[in-house]
Amino acid sequence: MYDVAVIGAGVVGSHTAGRLAAMGHSVAVVEGKRSLTEPVCCTGIIGRECVTSFAIGEDIIMRWVKGARVFSPSGKPLKLWRPEPQAAIVDRVSLNVSMISRAQGRGAHYEVGTLVRDIEVADDRVRIKAVRGNSPVYLEARAAVIATGFRPGLTERLGLGRTGDFVAGVQAEVSAPGVEDVEVYLGREVAPSFFAWMVPTTSGMGLVGLLSRQTPEVYLRKLLSLLADRGKIASADVEVLHGGISLKPLAKTYGDRLLVVGTAAGQVKPITGGGIYYGLLCANIAAEHLHRALSADNLSARDLAGYQREWKQRLGSELRTGYWARRVYERFSDRQIDRLFDIMESTGILESLLNAKDLSFDWHGGAVSRVISYEVFRKIIGSMKLPARLKDRMPGRE
């Protein structure tokens, strides 16, 4: 019997496995995919803080970026640029592979091509029921960590619920020889309520993707055709990958002998959908709590509840403010977004935001509070027909 079974060999699952293995626990990682180098539907943009905190190797960083050119619905560009590199674009498969190598180097064992169907929680262990091909696979451990990304099946079956809100993401790799900067596109015609992007990766290549609650691939195909017509990408005839992003955390991220981490737990920035950094931060917290619980052999839900308390203490206010901003943004019309662009530029608000020391790629709460501290924004938001739950929860009013 293993000490811990981690379900899911994504970046968060493998990091959790590596930490626990380094603490001396026997760890099995169970991954449904047949190959650990299958493409991942993710752009791989992570902030400098994430690169440093998790010692992400230079060899997997394809380039550093100082900012992005954001296009309003009518096509006005806003240059969000800072003098220093703000984020790295990493090769997403290599990021997974590097976390897997670290975990394996510390002794974690991988069961690949093994899809977990169910977890039975007994008094002294968990029983993992999985399939590999057509054959059943059984595995036992003292505790399980669910790191299954956007796949609500297991957490729901275990009575931990579903993430409160989510969005679909789509992305394609394109040949984009002339593209050197990150571009973000806004507007109902492009990606209703969310945004689309084009990101340069290795020389001449890039990623085009978007988030949308409805028919994301239809919007992406339209955007790809437009970019091809404008000569920005070589061809619109490309393969599209699909993924899901939780926008609100799972109500319960622990249970008897169970912890949930990463996108499976909804540990994701609600404004951008970025989940790598927050997932890794919570993986550290999960590993610490599980280590203490395993050492004391106290693995009840009560003993593990501290995990949720601690990660919510670290991220809770960010997630709440980010989700508030996301829901308000979703209610802006295209005209209002264009007007906000004008205001940001003409009043100097943009410049002061970009110069603010606390503006961070990873922590958005400060920027949201700063933006809505401007009278002009408070007036716009005040004039909108927002449901009471959004009006009442405007940051600064709580």
- Which residues contact ligand FAD by CB under 6 A? 7-13, 30-33, 41-46, 115-116, 147-149, 151, 154, 169, 171, 209, 243, 245, 262-264, 268, 273-277, 279
Provide the minimum distance between the beta carbon of 391 and ligand FAD in the complex, in angstroms, as a whole number. 30
Packed helices 276-296 and 301-330: angle between N→C axes, nearest 10 degrees: 170
Pairing of strands 126-132, 135-146: antiparallel
Nearest residue to 223 via CA among 241, 210, 213, 205: 210
User: Least separation, in Å, of the C-beta of 342 and ligand FAD?
Assistant: 28
DSSP calls for 138-201: EEEEEEEEE--SS-THHHHHTT---BS-EEEEEEEEEE-TT--SEEEE-STTTSTTS-EEEEE-
* Closest CB 67 distance from ligand FAD, rounded Å: 15
CB atoms inside a 10 Å sphere around CB 117: 14
Nearer to ligand FAD, 78 or 265 (CB): 265
> By C-beta, is 111 or 338 nearer to ligand FAD?
111
Q: Rounded to the nearest whole angstrom, what is the least distance from the CB of residue 277 to ligand FAD in the complex?
A: 6
The owner of tokens 């901003």 is 325
Instruction: Give the residue from 300, 304, 163, 179 showing the smallest Cα distance to 230.
Output: 179
Residue 131: count other Cβ atoms within 10 Å of its Cβ: 14
Nearer to ligand FAD, 168 or 304 (CB): 168
Nearer to ligand FAD, 115 or 226 (CB): 115
**Cβ closest to ligand FAD, residue 268 vs residue 372:** 268
CB of 263 to ligand FAD, least distance (A): 4
Cβ(81)–Cβ(46) below 8 Å: no
Specify the residue, 41 or 304, whose C-beta has the smaller distance to ligand FAD.
41
Nearer to ligand FAD, 128 or 293 (CB): 128
The least distance separating ligand FAD from the CB of residue 40, rounded to whole angstroms, comes to 6
* φ/ψ bin of 138: left (φ > 0), alpha (ψ from -120 to 50), beta (otherwise): beta
26's tokens: 């026997």
Q: HSE (CB half, 13 Å, CA atoms) of 242?
A: 12
Q: How far is the CB of 25 from ligand FAD (least distance, A)?
A: 19
Looking at the Cβ atoms of 187 and 273, the one nearer to ligand FAD is 273
CB of 326 to ligand FAD, least distance (A): 15
Q: Which is nearer to ligand FAD, 201 or 263 (CB)?
A: 263
Q: Which is nearer to ligand FAD, 169 or 206 (CB)?
A: 169
In this structure, what are the phi and psi dihedrals at residue 227, rounded to the nearest 5 degrees?
Answer: -65, -35
Q: Taking the complex as a whole, how short is the minimal distance between the CB of residue 38 and ligand FAD, in angstroms?
A: 8
The neighbouring-strand residues paired with 175 are 205
Q: How far is CA 15 from CA 52, 120, 295, 305, in A?
A: 15, 24, 20, 21
Tell me the closest approach of the beta carbon of residue 95 to ligand FAD, in angstroms. Answer: 9
288, 183 in Cβ contact below 8 A?
no
Phi/psi-derived region of residue 133, left when phi > 0, alpha when psi is between -120 and 50, beta in every other case: left
